[in-house]
């Protein structure tokens, strides 16, 4: 049998999916590992998507997405992100995952390097490898409040570096970068003539701090921005996101969209319009639900003496279990699942800096969250 392309072997498997698939084979599992909203999709979104199927709205659409959806996104970007773009810069994608991969495919050649956060979401390192490029992690350290450090970035950049990936709000950390930090990152990118790829999937879920889109600060058209409807509207399986490009790339984008997906599911695009232009009370309710769950979880961890990073965004807790994991948090997370029936995401799935940590998803029923956290081992008393 012929062999696969050699670079495929370099694509790391997802440590999150490893736990998810193992948990799916067990009974009575408290699931705190996968980033799945626990709230239902709003009725007005469901009804529009369902009507699309009933009306047989199932033909191909334009590669970029249907015009009413792109117009709705354009207006949303101006209204909520201070991003004033032309509709030809908006490209509807199969979730933010495809948006990020599409941008990397445009920007990275074989052997090119992309600076990615560590800890950072799993596909930040998987996608470059799939493209034959090299992910170069920049550490997010506790002593720097888990934020990018310009001095460390300067040491990491090489003549093969092409892209800086920025994620705010962060998955898995829940950190939110302020405007001044984003401006510093843009200056760094400008000094080294880098593209910037911004993951803003959790834009609607911040607590006590305003989300800023780095593209709103960009003055020389170097930012690609990836967004998703999955977490905001609990539409994870609908697979709708969008990529916002610098101007002038429409002909190229039409070609690459045709090559990879042709177009996004047509009824899902109708549902996406309903989500974006419709009532957002359910989004505000979801944000309050996650905020309340985070507060409850932090209180419980404080009482048990378990360390964690207090987040300003997303719906995750970054929890320190180094007192129990013995330098192998991935193996420890599997043992926790098998013994205690609690699924968590091992921190090492997000990079080397995640060793000794776990990611807890608080988008869960309050009783499950309390019970699951109660089964974590507390550190020994001092």
**Span 236-265, pLDDT tens digits:** 999 999 999 999 999 999 999 999 999 999
Other C-beta atoms closer than 10 Å to the C-beta of 50 total 13
pLDDT in tens, 321-374: 999 999 999 999 999 999 999 999 999 999 999 999 999 999 999 999 999 999
At 226, list the tokens.
């990836």
Overall average pLDDT of the 188-203 stretch: 98
Q: What's the pLDDT band for 310 if we cut at 50, 70, 90?
A: very high
194: CB partners within 8 A, 6+ apart: 115, 157, 161, 162, 163, 164, 188, 222
Provide the residue ranges of all domains of the chain, joining segments of one domain with +: 6-41+281-374, 59-277
374: CB partners within 8 A, 6+ apart: 300, 304
**pLDDT at position 108:** 98
Q: What's the pLDDT band for 23 if we cut at 50, 70, 90?
A: confident
Q: How far is CA 10 from the centre of its chain?
A: 22
pTM: 0.96
At 369, list the tokens.
């969250």
> What's the first-to-final CA gap in the chain, in angstroms?
59
At 206, list the tokens.
């911040």
Whose structure tokens read 């916002």? 244
Q: What's the pLDDT band for 24 if we cut at 50, 70, 90?
A: confident
Q: Is the peptide bond before 119 cis (omega within 30 degrees of 0)?
A: yes
Contact 346, 19 (CB under 8 A): yes
6-41+281-374 CATH pick, 3.90.1150.10, 3.30.70.1400, 1.25.40.10, 3.40.1260.10 = 3.90.1150.10
What span, in angstroms and rounded, lies between the C-alpha atoms of 71 and 232? 19
Please state, in angstroms and as integers, the Cα–Cα distance from residue 107 to each residue in 12, 101, 117, 245, following that order. Answer: 21, 10, 18, 12
59-277 CATH: 3.40.640.10
What span, in angstroms and rounded, lies between the C-alpha atoms of 224 and 192? 17
Q: What is the largest CA-CA distance in the chain?
A: 66
What span, in angstroms and rounded, lies between the C-alpha atoms of 16 and 28? 19
Per-chain mean pLDDT for the chain: 96
Composition of the chain by helix, strand, coil, percent to 5: 45, 15, 40
The pLDDT of residue 184 is above 90: yes
Q: How far is CA 341 from the centre of its chain?
A: 26
What span, in angstroms and rounded, lies between the C-alpha atoms of 108 and 161? 9
What SS3 class is residue 92?
strand
């Amino acid at each position: 049998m012929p062999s696969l392309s050699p670079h495929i072997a370099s694509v790391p498997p997802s440590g999150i999916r490893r736990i998810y698939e193992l948990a799916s084979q067990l009974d009575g599992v408290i699931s705190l590992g996968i980033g799945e909203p626990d709230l239902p999709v709003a009725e007005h979104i469901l009804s529009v998507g369902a009507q699309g199927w009933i009306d047989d709205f199932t033909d191909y659409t334009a590669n970029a997405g249907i015009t009413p959806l792109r117009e709705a996104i354009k207006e949303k970007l101006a209204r909520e992100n201070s991003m004033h773009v032309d509709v030809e810069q908006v490209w509807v994608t199969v979730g933010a995952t495809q948006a990020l991969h599409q941008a990397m495919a445009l920007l990275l050649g074989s052997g090119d390097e992309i600076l990615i956060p560590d800890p950072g979401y799993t596909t930040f390192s998987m996608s470059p490898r799939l493209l034959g490029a090299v992910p170069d992690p920049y550490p997010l350290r506790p002593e720097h409040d888990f934020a990018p450090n310009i001095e460390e970035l300067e040491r990491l950049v090489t003549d093969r570096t092409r892209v800086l990936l920025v994620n705010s709000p962060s998955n898995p950390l829940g950190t939110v970068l302020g405007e001044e930090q984003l401006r510093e990152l843009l200056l760094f990118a400008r000094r080294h003539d880098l593209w910037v790829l911004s993951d803003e999937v959790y834009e609607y879920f911040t607590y006590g701090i305003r989300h800023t889109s780095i593209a709103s600060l960009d003055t020389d058209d170097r930012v690609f921005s990836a967004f998703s409807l999955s977490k905001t509207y609990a539409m994870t399986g609908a697979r709708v996101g969008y990529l916002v490009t610098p101007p002038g790339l429409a002909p190229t984008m039409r070609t690459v969209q045709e090559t990879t997906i042709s177009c996004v599911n047509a009824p899902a695009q109708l549902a996406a319009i309903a989500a974006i232009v419709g009532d957002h009370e359910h989004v505000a309710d979801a944000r309050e639900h996650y905020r309340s769950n985070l507060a409850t979880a932090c209180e419980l961890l404080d009482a048990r003496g378990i360390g964690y990073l207090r987040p300003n965004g997303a719906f995750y807790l970054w929890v320190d279990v180094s007192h129990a994991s013995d330098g192998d948090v991935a193996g420890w997370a599997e043992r926790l699942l098998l013994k205690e029936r609690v699924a968590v995401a091992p921190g090492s799935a997000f990079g080397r800096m995640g060793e000794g940590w776990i990611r807890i998803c608080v988008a869960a029923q309050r009783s499950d969250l309390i019970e699951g956290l109660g089964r974590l081992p507390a550190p020994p008393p001092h």
